[in-house]
Structure 1
Amino acid sequence: DAIQGKIPGLSQPASIASSVRKPRHLVTQLNIPKPVSCPNLVHTEAASYGQEIDGLSQLEKLQVLGQGNGGTVFKVRHKQTLALYALKVMQCDRGTPPNPQELNILRQTNSPYIVKCHQIFTKPSGEVSILMEYMDAGSLEIYVKSRGRLSEDIICTISRQVLKGLFYMHSRNIVHRDIKPANVLINEKMEHPCGYSCLYESGEARHRKHGGYNGFAADIWSFGVTMMELYMGYYPFLEPGQEPDFLSLMLAICFREPPSLPECSSEKFRDFIRCCLQKGDPSKRWTASQLLSHPFLADA
């Protein structure tokens, strides 16, 4: 799922896609001895939703954009129209099978702040391919690493666009559960009036409640930590340059006080972050709707 908005000061358009993340060196490929069935999916050779593309054979794979336990994302081109897309390919014998409910959420999402899902293809083998809008200039994680931390003005505009996307999802009882700079993608095409779009990892969309878990509040926490990281230039639970250790990171998040912005930041920005990171009682954490009216975003 994705979000769009104009960010002043960047040379190209951008799109913005949980605070406890797996360290990169701990990410491994799951080895599952037997294929896992994918119940409730339509298993036809080219089952798809939408009218634009008849089958995967019409798509030419150009390059790998990313790879992980959730699948592989390719940059693809439609052979007839030459239109570019992102194609996420997931195998049912690698990790958790795609959730049919999540695929249905993807198909029905329709917002100027959510990256478009064009079609979904399934195969009898269990392979699921999701054809999505192509965001062609990388992520904000890469942008910050290559150019340095972002200013308050840019973060203000990014925040407004992300929150509009969250408000759209939360109002439909959908939570994201994976908000981080790596899911903020930059679009160079300037196709939309706002110019920028935030990409939410589609496979992470979930319905809100699982027992006592409040997915709405968890999204806001991750959003606040993400905005801090864009401003500070490093993950706020770590020291600059520190390699993440999953256990120590978990302990820090669970038992330490929430991180705070440096004194050189504005009071409005610091208060905005405090509203996102209310820790003792998640119900006191501001909602996406409330944050959109915060004074920090008044000029966004």
Structure 2
Amino acid sequence: MDESLVLKKCGYILGSTLGDGSYGKVKSAYSESQNANVAVKIINRKKAAADFLEKFLPRELEIQASLSHSNIVKIFKIFETSNGKVFIIMELGVQGDLLEFVKSRGALPEDFSKKLFRQLSMAIKFLHDQDIVHRDLKCENLLLDKDFNLKVSDFGFTRRITYDDTGKMELSKTFCGSAAYAAPEVLQGIPYNSKMYDVWSMGVILFVMMCGSMPYDDSNIKRMLRIQKEHRVDFPRSKQIPGECKDMIYKTLHPDVKKRLDICAILEHHWLGKTGEVSSRHHNGPATSKPASSSKDKKNVEGKVETDITTDPGKEDHAGPSSPRTEVACVT
């Protein structure tokens, strides 16, 4: 059955394409029952690799459908057709993703960056408290709703942490995600602590929000890795970054995992923990939009050619909230 007919049968009117992934695509749709627009991720099992079908897709469906947090995209319904197409109905990130937002606005005001980073931190703490890791945090996977609140999306590389008989965390050996956001231990192919991988990616995201550029040039991975291992973080001279914020970024981008902040330390950091820093005007987005003052800085974001570390199991792009109760059904 045609995708539009399948969705119409379930009460959704198919709209435009929002993004394409390796094994599927994301489209907008109108939900007649909700009287609102939603995002629909469509995955074709017949085109997907065996590894994706056996490992990544089951994890994504099981984990994301179980999540309920204000800063994680909501899943409204999951159903599958007899010809192998999986439909995931999600909240729509109406303001687009964070990368596009920074590309159009440049570096974000400190108050607004702090608001978004706190929301990201709360979402990741929610996951880490349940021993769930994302492993593909990047600006493209952070969506903004109509009120410019952050929503974490795309759980294609997510997994649950496991422990051995002694209670020690078992390290991840799947080297996934995007090189520009990957921790040095991941780039080196060393078994890694997935929670600390998420933290490194968060540091890159905060740098992008505050500077309007990437902290490292991933066009030369070997050189980038050398700089990371030297613990060098070069802030653009054209940007006035508060010392406390620099300290947060510097400590989340520490090459030594034992010295890197964990998610609890991030939330307790003095830059994020200061009260009264988010003024009311920023609840509906930043009042000002300052473009990157350096063309070089802006190019680092706009001209970035993303390098995936492993095969990408489909993207959510502008998908966007997870309800406490997700419907799972099959359409034949």
Q: Is TM > 0.5 for Structure 1 vs Structure 2?
A: yes
Segments of structure 2 that go 5 or more residues without pairing to the other structure are 162-170, 174-190, 278-332
Give me the CA root mean square deviation. 2.3
Partner of 1:252: 223
Cα gap change, 1:252 to 1:174, in 2 (>3 Å): farther
Report the 3-state secondary structure (helix = DSSP H, G, I; strand = E; otherwise coil) of the residue aligned with 1:136. Answer: coil
- Give the residue type in structure 2 aligned to 1:259: V
* Contact 2:15-2:29 within 8 A present in 1 as well: yes
Q: Deviations over 1:148-176 (max 9, x none)?
A: 11122221111110000000001111111
Query: Whole-Å Cα distance in 2 between the matches of residues 120 and 261 of structure 1?
Result: 43
Task: Give the CA deviation at 1:277.
Answer: 0.8
Task: Give the CA deviation at 1:125.
Answer: 2.5
Query: Whole-Å Cα distance in 2 between the matches of residues 253 and 126 of structure 1?
Result: 41
* Contact 2:71-2:149 within 8 A present in 1 as well: no
Partner of 1:19: none
Q: Match for 1:148 among 106, 124, 127?
A: 106
Q: Deviations over 1:81-125 (max 9, x none)?
A: 532111111112234325213211111101122121111112233
Q: Match for 1:285 among 260, 275, 281?
A: 260
Q: Deviations over 1:253-277 (max 9, x none)?
A: 3221342334631110111011101
Partner of 2:116: 158
- Give the residue type in structure 1 aligned to 2:24: G
Query: Whole-Å Cα distance in 2 between the matches of residues 137 and 70 of structure 1?
Result: 25
Q: Match for 1:268 among 225, 244, 261?
A: 244
Cα gap change, 1:170 to 1:55, in 2 (>3 Å): farther
- Give the residue type in structure 1 aligned to 2:15: L
Q: Does 1:207 align with 2:156?
A: no
TM-score normalised according to structure 2 size? 0.65
Query: Whole-Å Cα distance in 1 between the matches of residues 121 and 209 of structure 2?
Result: 15
Query: Whole-Å Cα distance in 2 between the matches of residues 57 and 121 of structure 1?
Result: 10
Q: Point out 4+ residue stretches in structure 1 off by more than 6 angstroms.
A: none
Query: Whole-Å Cα distance in 1 between the matches of residues 23 and 243 of structure 2?
Result: 39
* Contact 2:120-2:151 within 8 A present in 1 as well: yes
Partner of 1:27: none
Partner of 2:48: 94
Cα gap change, 1:153 to 1:202, in 2 (>3 Å): same
Query: Whole-Å Cα distance in 2 between the matches of residues 210 and 223 of structure 1?
Result: 18
- Give the residue type in structure 2 aligned to 1:169: L
Cα gap change, 1:236 to 1:292, in 2 (>3 Å): same
Query: Whole-Å Cα distance in 2 between the matches of residues 173 and 277 of structure 1?
Result: 22
Task: Give the CA deviation at 1:219.
Answer: 0.5
Partner of 2:17: 64
Query: Whole-Å Cα distance in 2 between the matches of residues 103 and 126 of structure 1?
Result: 15
Report the 3-state secondary structure (helix = DSSP H, G, I; strand = E; otherwise coil) of the residue aligned with 2:118. Answer: helix
* Contact 1:56-1:121 within 8 A present in 2 as well: no
TM-score normalised according to structure 1 size? 0.72
* Contact 1:237-1:252 within 8 A present in 2 as well: no
* Contact 1:120-1:128 within 8 A present in 2 as well: yes
Task: Give the CA deviation at 1:142.
Answer: 1.1
| Equivalent residue runs for 1:72-221 within 5 Å | 72-92=25-45, 93-95=47-49, 96-97=52-53, 98-188=56-146, 190=147, 196-208=149-161, 209-211=171-173, 212-221=191-200
Task: Give the CA deviation at 1:218.
Answer: 0.6
Cα gap change, 1:70 to 1:214, in 2 (>3 Å): farther
Query: Could you say which structure has the greater relative contact order, defined with CA pairs below 8 angstroms and 6 or more residues apart?
Result: 2
Q: Does 1:294 align with 2:294?
A: no
* Contact 1:115-1:197 within 8 A present in 2 as well: no
Q: Does 1:230 align with 2:212?
A: no
Cα gap change, 1:80 to 1:117, in 2 (>3 Å): closer
* Contact 2:116-2:150 within 8 A present in 1 as well: no
Q: Which moved more, 1:282-291 or 1:258-267?
A: 258-267
